[in-house]
Amino acid sequence: MRIVYIILFCHFLTAFTALGMPLFMPRMLSSLIEGESQYLIGVMFIVPPLCAALTAPWWGRFADKYGKKKSLLRAQGGLTIGFLLSGFADNLWLFCFGLIVQGISGGTLAASNAYLSSQYKGLALAKSLNLTQFSARLALVTGPILLGLFTQIAEPLNIYRYLSLLPLSALLVSLFLQRDDLKSKTIVDLKNKKNQKNIVTQLLFLQFLFCFSMVVTFPYFLPYVQTLGKCSDSMVGFYYSLPHLVYLLFVFFIGKLTLSAQKQSLFGFSLLGIACMGQFSLQNMDSLIYYRLLFGLGMLLCYSGLHLLLTQQLQQHPAGLFFGRFDAWGKWAGVLAGLMASFIAHYFSLHWPFLISSFACLIAIVILVTDTKQSFTQSNLTID
């Protein structure tokens, strides 16, 4: 468990800035350009995930060939450089270049998970994957609230300079991790090769829909909440962080569920869809807290179910490449979500991203319910 705790600590250091600062993209852009910048919020938001989506499979192959520890160090170093570039930007193009470097060289979650796969297998790995999301959720709980306070007393871009020390510290700590075994082999079951391909395809689609449903509500959450009533930046950060707080509180209890991975995913997407539909229909802040709590429960069940499904496939696929593909599909979902949010918010209203999110959840539910070949239900792997 010592390795898990080190990975969690280092991932939190890198995720705190990467996941916390984008919420304040409107503030950062307004300090770089004059006039209306709302149309650029969604565009700038997708730059890091777009670059990460393009490079994630390549970095996965890099991890399998040269070592998962080296890939982890590469990701942490890349974020350090990217944050410094963004922090010293005095124009939109340099800021965008910093975001590009963050996207190309980042991917610390996939790198962390790939390294853990070299140390743990089966259910132990599934637990570890839930815990890496624990560190990500912890960053999303603390990041927006704390950074929301700092954005009121300092220029948001200047904060990037000091925050670059966090991934740098993670890199220094990770230097002491033990090297992973490059000779580990995967087991290929030729008889079930076609079925395995179907499972992987469905899993990647579910990952895409899940990430899309969460990210599409992200870029314009700040102005969305402010349309419901007068609210400070730190309070908006609290509302945004609330679902991730739910994850932190219940992730250690999710293992007691006896539901299959498919059913956990099904219930998760259902709760997520209901929460998003509720937020779409809100006209004031009275019920916002309840829908954010429901959003958190759905997110918790989705992560648990998808991690169980993911763990089942690692015996048949190289871990680095598989995590790279899994991460890439999530990043492509983020890219599409950012573009969709920008278009919807501009031509309709700030409520509409939640409607699009609920529709994505509905598609995922259809995939899970109409799984006629029962590819997911052949194994009822759960965390005991």
pTM for the full predicted model: 0.77
Angle between helices 2-20 and 165-174 (to 10 degrees): 160
CB atoms within 10 A of CB 228: 18
Tell me, what's the pLDDT at 168? 93
The tens digit of pLDDT for each residue in 183-206 reads 555 444 444 555 566 777 888 899
CB atoms within 10 A of CB 243: 24
**Which residue, among 137, 174, 146, has the nearest Cα to 296 in the 3D structure?**
137
Both ends of the chain: CA-CA distance in Å?
A: 17
Tell me, what's the pLDDT at 208? 94
The tens digit of pLDDT for each residue in 117-146 reads 887 777 778 778 888 888 888 887 787 778
Residue ranges covered by each domain of the chain: 2-369
The tens digit of pLDDT for each residue in 321-341 reads 777 788 888 888 888 888 888
The CATH code for residues 2-369 is 1.20.1250.20
